[in-house]
Amino acid sequence: MSNKYIWLLAVFVLGITVSTSSIASDAIQPTAAYQAPLASESLLTDIANVDNVFLTVVGERGHILRSSDGVTWQQAQVPVQANLSAVIFVDKQHGWAVGHDATILKTSDSGDTWHIQQYLPQLDKPLFDVYFRNQTQGIAVGAYGMFYRTNDGGKTWLPEFHAELLSEDDQEYLLDLKETDEHAYAIEQGVILPHFNRVYADGNLLYMVGEAGFAAKSTDFGATWQRLSAFYNGSLFDVSRSQKMSLLAVGLRGHAFRSQDQANSWHKIELPNTATINSIVTENTPTIFLLGNAGSLLVSHDDGESFNDHSLQDGKAIVNGLVWQDKLILVTEVGVKTINLSELN
């Protein structure tokens, strides 16, 4: 079994899904995240550039921090201690974060405070990514095909099961099971799909990648999906488009792929090391950065045809990052790291 943070399986535990609304579990009440002086040096998993005004990062134990300079970080008030996986803002005020226990959090005050829209520890199951195209319409995805949608800014989150992403054999199996054993059918729905690791918006298209070579695209904001032809049998952790319109996908053990025909065909990119790649950075830069385990930092100046190795000497996993001003800001297993772009030419 693998997921976006395969090297953290000892920390992040997976489970089973059930249908739910956007409320906290009555059985287990959340505990607020501790204010930790060293939160900016702890495990961090995602980072967002908010209108080029400030940065927001999320990570373990419900840590959410904000910075206006990429150097000094202030920790927000967060009502859960769940490990957080992803964060997104649609404007300067409104943002969402997702993570373990199927947690979904929202802020309406630029990330100063966050409140719970969904918290379901009984699932023992993580959400890995979240995407909003405006203040009302969003989706959140995660382990074992977990998929939630909101059309009201997160006041309600409704689960969806996308059977079209299964093989024909699995679809037939589920139909047979539904007719013969509805209880087993409900359980199987929660485990039969692969982990959905990342959603990427490419204009009007959505791409989604995940476990065991899973890759799909949608033209209707995820209402329906078309599974892409298999081009790799290992887990994929990110997909992104370069400024020159090449599509890249990355995953386990240094596997990276490039498509120049709208994901109809892919060719493998030979990388200088075999560390698992967690994320791709293409936004706000003509340079492509691949970020991964063991300090892996790979840089391409030729639209992904080749990469140079600028891996960090400390060997700590880099989970995500972005280009901000003249720096590459990284979130890692030991906190925030900043590199001047001039050092990566």
Q: How far apart are CA 13 and CA 26, in angstroms?
A: 21
User: Span 234-262, mean pLDDT?
Assistant: 97
pLDDT given at position 28: 82
Mean pLDDT of 26-36: 87
pLDDT reading at 185 higher than 60: yes
**Domains detected in the chain:** 14-171 (2.120.10.30), 194-328+337-345 (2.120.10.80)
Helix (H, G, I), strand (E, B) or coil at 170: helix
Write the CB contacts of 17 (distance below 8 Å, at least 6 apart in sequence): 102, 123, 125, 144, 146, 159, 189, 190
Mean pLDDT score, 295-302? 98
Mean pLDDT (the chain) is 92
Q: What is the mean pLDDT of residues 233-238?
A: 98
Q: What is the mean pLDDT of residues 295-310?
A: 98
Beta partners for residue 133, in sequence order: none
pLDDT of residue 345: 84
69-125 per-position pLDDT tens digit = 999 999 999 999 999 999 999 999 999 999 999 999 999 999 999 999 999 999 999
pTM to 2 decimals?
Answer: 0.92
Mean per-residue pLDDT for 215-242?
97
What is the structure's pLDDT at 148? 98
Alpha-carbon span 300 to 121, nearest angstrom: 41
Sequence-separated (6 or more) residues with CB below 8 Å from residue 337: 312, 318, 329, 330
Q: What is the pLDDT of residues 5-30, one digit of tens each?
A: 443 433 333 332 333 444 454 568 99
pLDDT digits (tens, 9 = 90+) for 263-286: 999 999 999 999 999 999 999 999
Single-letter code of the amino acid located at 119: Y
Q: For residue 104, how far is the Cα from the chain centroid?
A: 13
For residues 127-155, average pLDDT: 98
Residue 91 amino acid letter: D
pLDDT tens, position by position, 42-66? 999 999 999 999 999 999 999 999 9
Q: What pLDDT, on the 0 to 100 scale, is given for residue 19?
A: 34
Residue 27 pLDDT: 65
Q: Taking the CA of residue 56 as centre, how many other CA atoms within 13 Å lie in the half-sphere pointing to its CB?
A: 32
Is the pLDDT assigned to residue 293 strictly greater than 60? yes
Amino acid letter for position 247: L
In this prediction, residues 155-179 reach a mean pLDDT of 94
pLDDT confidence of residue 307:
98
> CA geometry: angle at 83 spanning 21 and 324, to 5°?
105
Half-sphere exposure at residue 187, Cβ-oriented, CA atoms within 13 angstroms: 5
